[in-house]
Amino acid sequence: MEYWIGWLFLSIILTLIMEMIKFQSIIKAFNFVRKRPSYFAINLLIVSATLVFSFFVSRKLFFIGFMTFFWLFLAIMNAIVTHLRGYPLMFSDIFLIKEGLSLSSHYFKPWVIALIIAGMAIILHIGYGWYQIQYSVKSLDYLLASIYVTLAAFIFNRIEKGQPVDSSSVEDEERGFAYAMADSIYPYLNRKPDTYNEEMMSQILKGITYHSSKLPVHHPQIILLQLESFFDPLRLEGVSFSQDPIPTFRKLMQQKKSGVMRVPTFGGGTAKTEFSILTSMNAELLKPGEIPHQSFLKHTPVESLASQLERLGYCSTLIHNYEGNFYNRHLAYENLGFSRYIPIEYMSGVGIPHDLSQMNDADLVNYVLKTLATDQPAFIYGITVGTHQPYDETPDDNPLIQVEGPMSIEMKYALQDYAKRIYQLDQEIHRLIQELQASEQEVILMMFADHLPNLPILNDESMYPYNPYEVPYFISHFHPSFDYPLPKQLECYQLGTWLMKTLNIPLSIMQQLHITYKDHECYQDILRLSQYDQLEGKAYLTNQVFTTHQTTLHFGLNEQRLEDYHWTEAGLIVYGAGFNIDSQLYIDQRKVETIFISDTELMAAIECKTFDTLTLKQLSRRHEVLGDEINLIAEHETVIDKGN
């Protein structure tokens, strides 16, 4: 009996501590218990159900210690992750460990990582000692624990069955930590909607009333730019800036060429907005926290704006001035119908490391313009990265834009750094617009934020009294027949529908569903069924309309070339074009130390020797080859140029 009392007491205390860690406040944790006792009871049920397994094993102390450590570790990680990216830890984050580790150096100093490793070692040592202690397993305890686990699973399943289709992130935060974690796991165990069947999908298909049959008269160049962590800083209450950080975007606002768009994420999760824009699917109806690029887009073709426009003769290009295999984008874009991908590894002349604080959106704009000069007609989807967090909280003696207002000194410096970066982005967009005007091409340029930046000041309703899931979008068009009023407010998964309908381009199946059912009382349920049908179901909708195929994805603009080489005392100097810091040389397929000199010159730091083949490969930061290799057959000469 004492063990049962201890089990219950520990469950209550552990549940409370996790809420304190989540809220980072003892008062807020107890307010949660007082105001939402039913949710606290659900959290207690989940925690106690995991601890009750200690009645099944003889090493009870070790098991209780392990589960307590496990829950506290998750709660601490949740607090850290929420602080860094703006939304909480979820089960789906286990699929993002690779990306998380690659970004850890941007957020944690080496000594912090060392302390964490040392702490883990101490805990493992203590755990080993507890593992040696054993207790007896009583039959009655075993029976009662089995009943409790079964009852807890039944109750939780009934609760989950009653959840609405489109529960919001704000509601998830109010449910409590343990419940939010368990809730994010449940859809992975129960994936198929209850009402999904062939008859239901046939009814949805028959109900579609809009079919675009006319082909567009014009084929304008279409550019969509996804702006990393973009918002209007002048919307902050009580905060002043020495100059407007976004004068180019401000001009578009004054010309009524902007609107408001709701996105599925805050502070992070760029790929969710990207997926919704491209496919016209609601990312909120996927599994909690799911990053499509990491799950089904690795192997499942999905109709998108890219494949839609490819059928009209467009060449679809994705440009992103960051790592090509981050979020598995190099696999996902093939299944989204893109024919070309230009990541940072294929941007000629880039000589800086893949540091988020140093990424320059000028590189992206340069490649947008280069692609426009190459393709007719072109569909370009660009993703900026220059305004990505973390933001520098250290003093700047000569800030580009000074910020004043009632905030901490760290927040002031971070906001000044953000204002500088967004101003630099604004200037690049100004340059792009100027170039597009001068080109006299028929171009439609749409720009939109992926989410708001993860700045703590945006969580203060007294300073930012707006919906944190609403972002601005803009249009700048150079097309004689394109002069339609923008919707003042829409969902991000409706943007592509509006654009394609406005251009009189035949709509995708998802876009036709939006046109037909957007005012229907079961709109979200219909979207959920339709998305499941295409992503994980039997494709009842798409088999009757079209078939989506995986494309062959080409990297870069074919700028990389090997032209010549010669030996020096320092090593092998290689000449060509399109080189950057990610260019890697191989001698007879053996990797050699490669030094980036310029976009036309590399050096292999090796001793003079004969070889048969010189090979150039573009490598990601994780040393994965992106795209095709380029070979140069050697002339068997080993003359060393000693200079003058």
The whole-number pLDDT of residue 516 equals: 94
**Residue 468: inside a domain, yes or no?**
yes
Q: What angle do CA 577, 579, 581 make, to 5 degrees?
A: 170
Q: What does the block give as tokens for 195?
A: 């009402």
DSSP string, 405-460: SSS-HHHHHHHHHHHHHHHHHHHHHHHHHHHHHHHT--EEEEEEESS----GGGG-
Regarding whether 565 and 548 lie in a shared domain, the answer is no
Task: Write out 240-261 in H/E/C secondary structure.
Answer: EECCCCCHHHHHHHHCCCEEEE
What angle, rounded to 10 degrees, do the helices at 495-502 and 509-517 form? 100
- Final residue of a structural domain among 504, 532, 554: 554
More confident site: 353 or 417: 417
The whole-number pLDDT of residue 225 equals: 97
Q: Which CATH number does the domain housing residue 529 bear?
A: 3.40.720.10
**Residue 202: inside a domain, yes or no?**
no
Are residues 273 and 470 in contact, defined by beta-carbon separation less than 8 angstroms?
no
Q: pLDDT tens digit string along 270-316?
A: 899 999 999 999 999 987 778 888 888 888 899 999 999 999 999 99
| pLDDT mean over 379-386 | 96
Q: What is the share, in percent, of the chain residues with pLDDT greater than 70?
A: 86
Radius of gyration of the chain (CA): 28
Residue type, 198: E
Regarding whether 584 and 543 lie in a shared domain, the answer is no
- The tally of domains found in the chain comes to 3
Which letter does DSSP use for residue 317 in this model? E
Q: Which CATH number does the domain housing residue 616 bear?
A: 2.60.40.10
| pLDDT mean over 158-168 | 59
Regarding whether 573 and 502 lie in a shared domain, the answer is no
In three-state secondary structure terms, 47 is: helix
Regarding whether 568 and 503 lie in a shared domain, the answer is no
Only one residue has tokens 């809730």, namely 183
Regarding whether 445 and 415 lie in a shared domain, the answer is yes
State pTM to two decimals.
Answer: 0.81
* Distance separating alpha carbons of residues 280 and 505, to the nearest angstrom: 15
Q: Where residue 559 falls among pLDDT bands split at 50, 70, 90?
A: very high
The whole-number pLDDT of residue 118 equals: 72
CA distances from 197 to 133, 482, 530 (A): 53, 41, 11
**Residue 249: inside a domain, yes or no?**
yes
Q: Is the pLDDT of residue 266 over 50?
A: yes
Q: Is the pLDDT of residue 58 over 60?
A: yes
User: Which ranges of 283-439 does DSSP label H, i.e. alpha helix?
Assistant: 305-310, 329-335, 361-374, 409-439
**Residue 156: inside a domain, yes or no?**
yes
| pLDDT mean over 517-540 | 91
Q: Residue 460 half-sphere exposure, CB side, CA atoms within 13 Å?
A: 14
Structural domain harbouring 608: 560-641
The whole-number pLDDT of residue 644 equals: 45
* Distance separating alpha carbons of residues 619 and 617, to the nearest angstrom: 6
In three-state secondary structure terms, 360 is: coil
* Distance separating alpha carbons of residues 446 and 434, to the nearest angstrom: 15
Chain centroid offset of residue 147 CA: 42
* Distance separating alpha carbons of residues 466 and 489, to the nearest angstrom: 14
| pLDDT mean over 391-420 | 91
Regarding whether 180 and 290 lie in a shared domain, the answer is no
What count of other Cβ atoms lies within 10 Å of the Cβ of residue 158? 9
More confident site: 375 or 60: 375
Regarding whether 492 and 443 lie in a shared domain, the answer is yes
Lowest mean pLDDT among 222-226, 263-267, 449-453, 478-482: 478-482
Q: What angle do CA 221, 225, 231 make, to 5 degrees?
A: 145
**Residue 474: inside a domain, yes or no?**
yes
**Residue 200: inside a domain, yes or no?**
no
CA distances from 446 to 26, 302, 337 (A): 46, 22, 20
Residue type, 312: L
Regarding whether 434 and 336 lie in a shared domain, the answer is yes
* Distance separating alpha carbons of residues 117 and 108, to the nearest angstrom: 13
| pLDDT mean over 583-604 | 94
CA distances from 200 to 382, 525, 540 (A): 37, 11, 10
Only one residue has tokens 């230009």, namely 342
* Distance separating alpha carbons of residues 290 and 576, to the nearest angstrom: 42
Q: Is the pLDDT of residue 113 over 90?
A: no
Q: Is the pLDDT of residue 111 over 60?
A: no
* Distance separating alpha carbons of residues 464 and 453, to the nearest angstrom: 12
Regarding whether 332 and 307 lie in a shared domain, the answer is yes
Which letter does DSSP use for residue 214 in this model? P
- Final residue of a structural domain among 167, 189, 211: 189
DSSP string, 48-95: HHHHGGGGG-S-HHHHHHHHHHHHHHHHHHHHHHHHHHSS---GGGGG
Regarding whether 601 and 578 lie in a shared domain, the answer is yes
In three-state secondary structure terms, 346 is: helix
Q: Is the pLDDT of residue 506 over 70?
A: yes
The whole-number pLDDT of residue 422 equals: 96
Q: Is the pLDDT of residue 74 over 70?
A: yes
Q: Is the pLDDT of residue 463 over 90?
A: yes
Element (H, E) at 641: strand 640-641
The whole-number pLDDT of residue 643 equals: 56
Q: What is the share, in percent, of the chain residues with pLDDT greater than 90?
A: 44
Average per-residue pLDDT for the chain: 85
Regarding whether 596 and 481 lie in a shared domain, the answer is no
Regarding whether 315 and 225 lie in a shared domain, the answer is yes
The whole-number pLDDT of residue 167 equals: 46
Q: What does the block give as tokens for 76?
A: 């601490």
**Residue 210: inside a domain, yes or no?**
no
Q: pLDDT tens digit string along 178-198?
A: 888 887 776 666 668 888 999
Q: Where residue 448 falls among pLDDT bands split at 50, 70, 90?
A: very high
More confident site: 554 or 112: 554
Q: Where residue 105 falls among pLDDT bands split at 50, 70, 90?
A: low
Q: Kindly tell me the burial class for residue 296, based on how many C-beta atoms sit within 10 Å of its own C-beta (0-12, 13-18, 19 or more).
A: middle
Which of 92, 67, 268 is CA-nearest to residue 75? 67
**Residue 198: inside a domain, yes or no?**
no
Q: Is the pLDDT of residue 348 over 80?
A: yes
